[in-house]
Structure 1
Amino acid sequence: MYELTGVTKRYTRGKEAVHALDGVDLTIGDGDRLVIQGPTGGGKSTLLQMLGGLDRPTSGEVVLDGVDLAKLPEARLTRVRSENIGFVFQSFNLIPTLTAQENVETALVPLGIKAAERRERAAQALMSVGLGERLGHLPGEMSGGQQQRVAIARAVVKRPKVLLADEPTGNLDESTRDEIMDVLERLWKEQGLTFVMVTHDSTLARKAPRLATLRKGRITVKENAGA
């Protein structure tokens, strides 16, 4: 699935060079569930952006299914993201003027899927996250947990190979956090997804089969025997 080799990302902050990633080597297999932890500014979100093709490394390779995302033309990279990678963010990123069903449908528009099929697949995706009775509700009419479920449905409606989640429970209380993680883990198993999640929550990290820790752009990975 993923093979990262010598991935470096440098930014310039004033006169200072910042190494967000510093020679990261990482392998993620098909169907893996990997949690990424580490201090603020350690490179977690930058690594997730590399995996999702949202940013390019300064040097190194980010290979997904034999294709180096770092070298793809922008149009083809956009296509890879649209077809193969689902994203879930802390802030939900829903369009406030669209219903839950319409928000989910937006993920299918770039794929050229006709309107009737978009509606049907969006409804099915929302039912799979427990929102079958909320298809016509606007984001402002739903709780934070329900909005995150819509965001998850939008991420998986296109049937991606990869699901990337950046602090997906960061804005939620403990009870809702557990409900959202139950949804994510169930979808990971049912759909055979490769699931990579960034979190500050040590409780969630301890439950992951594999745990990567990023500090100052350097990565260490261990297997969680008790997960």
Structure 2
Amino acid sequence: MYQIDDLTKTYQQGKRVVRALRGVSLTIGDGELVAVQGPTGGGKSTLLQMLGGLDRPTSGTVKLDGADLAGMSDAQLTAARAETIGFVFQNFNLIPTLTALENVETALVPAKIPRQTRNARALAALESVGLGDRGDHLPGELSGGQQQRVAIARALVKNPKVLLADEPTGNLDEETRDEIVDLIVGLWKDQGLTIVLVTHDSVVAQRTPRRLRIAKGAVKDLTAA
């Protein structure tokens, strides 16, 4: 479970101070599927970075199962991300010279898992997203939707507790978008993952049981409204 209390994040842009998050407090329970919407620059991606330990807040706390991510050392944060949190991004972030299977395996390398075990887990992850027969394909040989499925498999292969997705359908056409959302919702139902999904697309957000809106660094729970 996430417990976020009085979270603030400010950036300095020249002489201008940008307040990306302004005293955000909220709870995300185990096994929730939550969409985060809002205007560009409103703080969506900043909030997701805080939840993933990819950036540190200016003040406030971000606790995951009671452990304050903001108070961890860099090494502790790296371990938490490697063991607990899976990430999916809009641009897939696949390594173009590696096959789909090898791209998924890369997520397990920091854990020092033996190669044979990595291979088996990566293949199982690809099969879970419907790409068990595409493991030997390079990203350039796959469609956008297939590349995003590989990226999701890479996030899942670690057996994370949390999946954080930043505009995972932003580069996809409507039909492929719907397929990826179906996949994410299915994974949520089948595996009990906690999923936080940033999206500008209301069609995507409406597929989730809980929707948050963030604008000018402040969060409103639309589901409770």
Is 1:106 matched up with 2:106? yes
Q: How does 1:6-155 map to 2 (within 5 A)?
A: 6-155=6-155
Identity of matched residues, %: 67
- When residues 224 and 140 of structure 1 are mapped into structure 2, their CA distance, relative to the original with a 3 A threshold, is farther
Question: SS where residue 208 of structure 1 aligns?
Answer: coil
The one-character-per-residue Cα deviations of 1:23-74 (angstroms, maximum 9, x if unpaired) are 0001000000110000000000000000000000000000000000000000
Residue type of the alignment partner of 2:175 = S
CA distance in 1, matches of 2:132, 2:81: 27
The one-character-per-residue Cα deviations of 1:101-156 (angstroms, maximum 9, x if unpaired) are 00000001111111000000000100110101101000000000000000000000
RMSD between aligned residues:
1.0
Residue type of the alignment partner of 1:149 = R
CA distance in 2, matches of 1:207, 1:101: 29
Q: CA deviation at 1:189?
A: 1.4
Q: Which runs of 4+ in 1 moved over 4 A?
A: none
Q: How does 1:163-202 map to 2 (within 5 A)?
A: 163-202=163-202
> What corresponds to 1:161 in structure 2?
161
CA distance in 2, matches of 1:106, 1:185: 25
Residue type of the alignment partner of 1:101 = L
Residue type of the alignment partner of 2:148 = Q
> What corresponds to 1:217 in structure 2?
217
CA contact (8 A) 1:207 1:224 kept: no
The one-character-per-residue Cα deviations of 1:139-176 (angstroms, maximum 9, x if unpaired) are 00000000000000000011000000000000000000
CA contact (8 A) 1:165 1:196 kept: yes
Q: CA deviation at 1:222?
A: 2.9
The one-character-per-residue Cα deviations of 1:56-102 (angstroms, maximum 9, x if unpaired) are 00000000000000000000110000000000000000000000000
Question: SS where residue 207 of structure 1 aligns?
Answer: coil
TM-score by length of 2: 0.98
Q: CA deviation at 1:206?
A: 1.8
CA distance in 1, matches of 2:153, 2:206: 25
Q: CA deviation at 1:224?
A: 7.2
- Can you give the 5+ residue segments of structure 2 that lack an aligned partner in the other structure? none
CA distance in 2, matches of 1:142, 1:49: 28
